[in-house]
Each structure stands twice: as structure tokens, then as C-alpha cells.
């Protein structure tokens, strides 16, 4: 649902650009199924280019190894090694520099082929440091990674706080209600937060009168007849 809305926004903007170019309008046809298929991304292309349906890998990447979640001494973190140089740096931080020269793991192609051998070795190593220790040491080494947070940890994250992603808005019945801020940041026309989520039917009359142009009498008739 969310991604179809985002794709729809892109489609609307494209249609508006077309209208501005030659003045013609058009019909936009969006389907949740189409968006689901489009979002399969690399998994879809893996099938289309090989004819082999991908197997379940949990949070692991089908084409890059290691690129998945790993346990730590106090939780879990995500490790996203993107190339052989990063793998060598990771192996050094993990105290296993020999992994980078192992003929089974020297290149990403080999690591994908020998995933079943490598992943258990990494899991055995990652449990000896905390999530914070792994993230700090790997970031220092230039290896992409990050903590796997629950929602409490996520909203307590310093960067999430700095970006102001948790906000509150006044509500007619509930006082101040929590909301998630928009991720869209515009320098000239920033997002404004004016209203909390509406009550059921709160804006029905406003929509009928201001948007559809119905007068108060017509709206009253709809209400009396049970339409509203």
C-alpha cells in the first residue's frame, strides 16, 4: 500500500510534467500487484536471467556475501560487505585475517558459492563483541554495518532524534497524540503539520461543500436521509 502510493506520486508528477509540456491529460493506472512485482528488484532479475526461482534466505542478500544480519554479544547487527576490499577489512576487525586469503572466500563470487561454509564462521566470531563494539570498529575500518534496533531503540537513536522524526499534534479527543514526521525535507517549502488525524467523518461536510460545491441544504438532506 505504501509503495504503491509512492509510485503513484511519481506517476502523477510525470503526468503533470507531460501536461505542462503539451497540455494533454492522461489516465494513470496503478495496481498493488504491479508494484509488488517491481519491488522484487534483484530477486526478479535473478529469476528472469537464470530461470531459477530464488530460495528463501531470510535477511541475506542473494548476490553478495556477507550481506545480512549476525548475532552479537547483546543483540544483532547488519553487516553489508559490498566488495572484496571491505571483506578483507572485516576479516581483520573480526580477528580472522586468513578469511580474506582463503580460496573459498577470496572473491564475492566464491563467497556466494561457499555461503554455507562462511556464514557459520562469521556467526561464531560476531557473538564475542557487543553490537556497539562491532558498529564502532567496523565504521572506523570503513565497512558498512548498523545495529538492528527495536522501535524503542530506534526512536531513542541520536540521529532519529536530531532529524525530529517523532512529533506530537493536538487532537480533539486525545490531547497531544504522537506522529511520525514526514521524511521529505524541502528547503523552500518545508512540510507543515497543522492537523492531527481526523475523527471519523470530521471533514465530510467540508469536503462536500468546499470540494464538491454542495450547499448546506443538500448536505443536510444527505444527513437526514442516512446517506451520511
Active site residues per annotation: 1
**Helix, strand or coil, per DSSP, at residue 33:** helix
Cα distance between residue 193 and residue 196, in whole Å: 8
The phi, psi pair for 145, rounded to 5°, reads -165, 175
How many other β-carbons are positioned within 10 Å of the β-carbon of residue 65? 22
Q: What residues contact residue 27 under an 8 Å CB cut-off, 6+ apart?
A: none
**What is the C-alpha R_g of the chain?**
26
Place of cell 556466494: 112
The cell for 163 is 532529524
Cα distance between residue 197 and residue 79, in whole Å: 38
Under a CB-based contact definition with an 8 Å cutoff, are residues 125 and 96 in contact?
A: yes
Per DSSP, 131 falls in state H
Question: In sequence order, what are the beta bridge partners of 50?
Answer: none
Cα 228 from chain centroid (whole Å): 38
Reference 119, options 65, 62, 58; nearest CA is 65
Amino acid at each position: 500500500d505504501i509503495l504503491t502510493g509512492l509510485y503513484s506520486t511519481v506517476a502523477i508528477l510525470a503526468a503533470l510534467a507531460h501536461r505542462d509540456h503539451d497540455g494533454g491529460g492522461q489516465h494513470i493506472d496503478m495496481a498493488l500487484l504491479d508494484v509488488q512485482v517491481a519491488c522484487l528488484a534483484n530477486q526478479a532479475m535473478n529469476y528472469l536471467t537464470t530461470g531459477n526461482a530464488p530460495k528463501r534466505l531470510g535477511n541475506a542478500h542473494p548476490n553478495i556475501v556477507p550481506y545480512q544480519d549476525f548475532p552479537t554479544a547483546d543483540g544483532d547487527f547488519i553487516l553489508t560487505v559490498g566488495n572484496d576490499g571491505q571483506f578483507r577489512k572485516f576479516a581483520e576487525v573480526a580477528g580472522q585475517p586468513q578469511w580474506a586469503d582463503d580460496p573459498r572466500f577470496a572473491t564475492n563470487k566464491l563467497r556466494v558459492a561457499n555461503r554455507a561454509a562462511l556464514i557459520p564462521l562469521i556467526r561464531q566470531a560476531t557473538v564475542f563483541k557487543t553490537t556497539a563494539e562491532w558498529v564502532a570498529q567496523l565504521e572506523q575500518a570503513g565497512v558498512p554495518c548498523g545495529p538492528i534496533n527495536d522501535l524503542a531503540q530506534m526512536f531513542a537513536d541520536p540521529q532519529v532524534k536530531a532529524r525530529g522524526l517523532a512529533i506530537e499534534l493536538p487532537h480533539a479527543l486525545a490531547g497531544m497524540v504522537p506522529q511520525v514526521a514526514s521524511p521529505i525535507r524541502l528547503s523552500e517549502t518545508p512540510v507543515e503539520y497543522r492537523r492531527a488525524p481526523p475523527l471519523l467523518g470530521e471533514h465530510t461536510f467540508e469536503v462536500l461543500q468546499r470540494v464538491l460545491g454542495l450547499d448546506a441544504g443538500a448536505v443536510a438532506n444527505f444527513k437526514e436521509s442516512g446517506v451520511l
